[in-house]
Structure 1
């Protein structure tokens, strides 16, 4: 079973099970009649994304699919990486009488502002957790995210095994970082180096980290001047887009991207294809559909006074305010499962 399809089938099966348990019949418009109202039926929500890129567009699609299954009315907005616009969209959702708002933070440090702007609405931070998770409050504001420390750690474990197989315990790396100040940029960058150290690899930077803001073109432009005059053993990127920018830069210089391991995160469609082509050594699957589904389900659960992971297979942290959607490593050995 392919992972992308499997996630959708799991969500559909869960929804079908829930709806079947509600009893009653439906009218010609599909509205429940008799028995209890289907969970989520009649609720209105807004998903506010930091921007609309490939990954977040997939998250948006997962959210809308879950909303359709749950009977939730879901609007979506693109804040275009502008916190001011994000806050305006939150205010608009509140004024429109929405029951909940799903927020993909532009700036993780502004979570408290977002909660205050939401007023009485339930708040679900999705994909990006607040930098200070103490702002989360049971029954009011929660997060549906993936543990970013594990994403980078999977990269580091892969690289450690790769170099150990070649008899190397000391390496030099180039790192392409996402936007500074974002929690997942910091955790992805730190955890990959920790995994290398934990697995007996001494890793030193061949050049200062390149901050490419998760953008493919930026990554290509920033790494190009280093190619051909800097010695390095691998390229570590905080996401697939930047990893692919490095691949393109190497090709443009007449260098073979398969000659060194380049690792990314997200398992985007292009990232998966690059692994199949051999130009990307590995990536880490971040379940955009799962995060989108989990965010809508968490919002419904908040409204109905249930645990935020109720009706899912996802685990929560010790506070019950963070729902974890797991990362999974993707390598040439298992890439077919993620097509």
Structure 2
């Protein structure tokens, strides 16, 4: 299971209702009623760290809700905004509600074990979406669906190895949010691959960019100062939002990003134009719609006793050669 590498008191039901968004696809008591299509009805809580407040969630949620409607799943969706304590409280509410299943997108991977343990004690199966849990916590879950985040780091590193072509290159690394499993596994995939396939690429410094453009701009500016801008020939950022901040930091120093070796992950509506323009050498396509749909596909397999196996999104490399191909059109 790749997620093994990828890395509080309860709110009252009344208080929690202010943060819960219902996406009902059928009526009736969970697990007991059949809708017009003859399928059994299920009640599922989806504990997410984002929603329509972020571009990814905006395009993740509609396919998730559509798949749930197709499968007669009544969804109750939360958005913890990457606050681990808030997600823990939302988990307490979910466990108390006794749904048929919980879908968990960890806000912070290191903090979800108590939630998983409470669900297991209550007999509620948990599937994981988008970001994996720690290796020690995998046994408390029923499966994972989402990006192969380690593989995404590998793919971005392979682009870096290809474009540097054996040249000695010093690069800066902009990581995601500290403690977030996606950030950890993308970093590991990138660093492991660089060390193995192109040791000519040296990581001079790294800082978290917190999945944020402004934070990443500041981080890169600080690293340019600390190591010396003249020593930097490239940048790897763990997503396109952060690489855009990194490129802004270069431009603020009067440095043209085009001659540098720069790779990222996402192929988003922010990153794709940078690939087309030549400021970003390559990124890795991530489909938010695939992610949302497969979160429910996996949950339904668990609920119905079907074949359960981890579902990993393909890690497709995007460079200037294929950046305008419809098959990798950015979704978010």
Question: In which range does the TM-score fall when normalised by the shorter chain?
Answer: 0.7 to 0.9
Q: Taking structure 2 as the reference length, what is the TM-score of the superposition?
A: 0.79
Aligned to 2:312, which of 315, 324, 339? 324
**1:56–1:155 distance in 2 versus 1, CA, 3 Å:** same
Q: CA deviation at 1:95?
A: 3.2
SS of residue in 2 equivalent to 1:209: strand
Q: Taking structure 1 as the reference length, what is the TM-score of the superposition?
A: 0.77
Contact 1:169 1:201 in 2 (8 A): no
In 2, the alpha carbon distance for the partners of 1:273 and 1:67 equals 33
Contact 1:169 1:200 in 2 (8 A): no
Answering whether residue 207 of structure 2 is matched by residue 198 of structure 1, we say: no
Cross-structure match for 1:108: 109
Cross-structure match for 2:250: 250
In 2, the alpha carbon distance for the partners of 1:96 and 1:199 equals 50
Which consecutive residues of structure 1, in runs of 5 or more, have no partner in the other structure? 1-29, 309-315, 317-321
Answering whether residue 123 of structure 2 is matched by residue 123 of structure 1, we say: no
In 2, the alpha carbon distance for the partners of 1:68 and 1:247 equals 42
Deviation string, structure 1 residues 109-157 (Cα, Å, up to 9, x no partner): 23331223332322111111111255335xx632213222211111111
Contact 1:127 1:146 in 2 (8 A): yes
Equivalences for 1:95-244 in 2 at 5 Å? Answer: 95-118=96-119, 119-132=122-135, 135-137=138-140, 141-164=142-165, 168-206=166-204, 208-227=205-224, 229-230=228-229, 231-244=231-244
Which consecutive residues of structure 2, in runs of 5 or more, have no partner in the other structure? 1-33
In 2, the alpha carbon distance for the partners of 1:213 and 1:109 equals 16
Contact 1:63 1:295 in 2 (8 A): yes
SS of residue in 2 equivalent to 1:306: coil
**1:88–1:57 distance in 2 versus 1, CA, 3 Å:** same
In 1, the alpha carbon distance for the partners of 2:260 and 2:321 equals 18
- How many pairs align? 287
Structure 1 vs Structure 2 CA RMSD: 2.3
Contact 1:171 1:202 in 2 (8 A): yes
In 2, the alpha carbon distance for the partners of 1:151 and 1:114 equals 27
Contact 1:47 1:76 in 2 (8 A): yes
Q: CA deviation at 1:97?
A: 4.0
SS of residue in 1 equivalent to 2:243: helix
Q: CA deviation at 1:202?
A: 1.9
**1:267–1:61 distance in 2 versus 1, CA, 3 Å:** farther
Deviation string, structure 1 residues 223-249 (Cα, Å, up to 9, x no partner): 124447422111001111111111122
